[in-house]
Structure 1
Amino acid sequence: MDLIEITVGAIGRAHGVRGEVAVILRTDEPERRLAPGQVLRGDNGGTFTVVRTREHQGRWLVTFTELGDRTAAEAARGVQLVADVPPDERPGDDEEYYDRQLVGLTAIVDGESYGSVRAVLHLPAQDLLEIATADGVRLVPFVSELVPEVDLENSRLVINPVAGLLDDEAELATDRSEQQR
């Protein structure tokens, strides 16, 4: 089985004299990716085996087998950490998906192909799916009321057709009728 690589984070500043480092996270699952025993690849060609982790003042501090002292920790600063994972790996919650699983899915509206997911945008209020359509790009909030079904096996997701969400004409008609009141 081919594995895909995901960026877990980057090694930051050394913390103390025994090789512990801060890791600048690039993952939503640090508990999973930085669990003791995990082996990560560095973009410097090395490997990094997690011994232990802890949170300290809002940062993740990690001890790696390969970084035995402060000098080694300082030398590794800036190294990007990568994990190799199976492409079908899923998050722990059945209602969650990795961006890589959603990008490329066909968006289905009223039983017809509407476009494809081009990106997932993570905004403070909610995540948005960026859908590439024949009429341009549409942004759809990734909530169960609007996207009731995600079918990874068939590479598709279903979008509920809500007036104004997917078509400019419906939005303009709604605006006009409200202005006429």
Structure 2
Amino acid sequence: MQLVVGRVGRAHGIKGEVTVEVRTDEPELRLGPGAVLATDPASAGPLTIESGRVHSGRLLLRFEGVRDRNAAEALRNTLLIAEIDPDERPDEPDEYYDHQLIDLDVVLADGTEIGRITEISHLPSQDLFIVERPDGGEVMIPFVEEIVTDIDLGEQKAVIDPPPGLIDDRAARDEVADGHRVSSRDRDEESGAGA
């Protein structure tokens, strides 16, 4: 199985180094010296990493055979692709690779179907499952232990225990009264809080 692990940015200096936008949780494993990577476009590779270092918070790589700035610039925007074993798991038991989570069915503990994971969004504070609902809509589910209670790769499902309002607007439905929706402003006025 192939996995995009980085994208080549601009050249750095005059000796063939390039900046790399990292797209893997394990750069030391996937983008370490000696790693051989396929590329997109395929004509740019395969590329073998000769050396790497972090400079001003950015990963810099040098590839075998890329010796000057012009050769490095020619690689700009090239995707770096690693070949990985589809059964390979991260070292931590509660961690997963994106490809293992994509297409899992998302269900509640009682088996109610919520949808299917189509994408993982990696944000600075947490990861999100992008879930396609059976009706074609989308819902974002934080990948945190309090909400995602179980990942079962054998059954190809993720079990969730969402707070009210995350999956559907249960709280808003509860507020429908006399055929019209009661807004939070209406509730405040009824209770005298808005006065």
Any stretches of 5+ residues in structure 2 without a counterpart? Answer: 177-181
Q: How does 1:13-24 map to 2 (within 5 A)?
A: 13-24=10-21
Q: Does 1:106 align with 2:105?
A: yes
Q: Which structure has the bigger radius of gyration?
A: 2
SS in 2 for 1:90: coil
**Structure 1 residues 157, 58: CA separation in 2 closer, same or farther (over 3 Å shift)?**
same
Corresponding residue number in structure 1 for 2:155 = 154
- Structure-1 separation of matches of 2:139 and 2:77: 37
- Structure-2 separation of matches of 1:65 and 1:167: 52
> 1:49, CA displacement in angstroms?
0.9
Moved more, 74-83 or 36-45: 74-83
- Structure-2 separation of matches of 1:19 and 1:145: 46
**Structure 1 residues 7, 155: CA separation in 2 closer, same or farther (over 3 Å shift)?**
same
CA offset digits 1:148-171 (Å, max 9, x no partner): 111112101111154333332344
Provide the identity percentage.
Answer: 43
> 1:142, CA displacement in angstroms?
1.5
Equivalent pair of 1:103/1:120 in contact (CA under 8 Å)? yes
- Structure-2 separation of matches of 1:148 and 1:162: 12
Moved more, 45-54 or 73-82: 73-82
Any stretches of 5+ residues in structure 1 without a counterpart? Answer: none
**Structure 1 residues 168, 60: CA separation in 2 closer, same or farther (over 3 Å shift)?**
same
* Aligned-pair Cα RMSD in Å: 2.6
Corresponding residue number in structure 2 for 1:138 = 139
- Structure-2 separation of matches of 1:161 and 1:19: 49
Aligned residues: 178
**Structure 1 residues 138, 73: CA separation in 2 closer, same or farther (over 3 Å shift)?**
closer
Corresponding residue number in structure 1 for 2:179 = none
> 1:67, CA displacement in angstroms?
1.0
Q: How does 1:118-129 map to 2 (within 5 A)?
A: 118-129=118-129
TM-score (norm 2): 0.76
**Structure 1 residues 76, 161: CA separation in 2 closer, same or farther (over 3 Å shift)?**
closer
SS in 2 for 1:131: strand
> 1:5, CA displacement in angstroms?
1.7
- Structure-1 separation of matches of 2:73 and 2:122: 32
- Structure-1 separation of matches of 2:154 and 2:133: 22
SS in 1 for 2:72: helix
- Structure-1 separation of matches of 2:165 and 2:92: 31
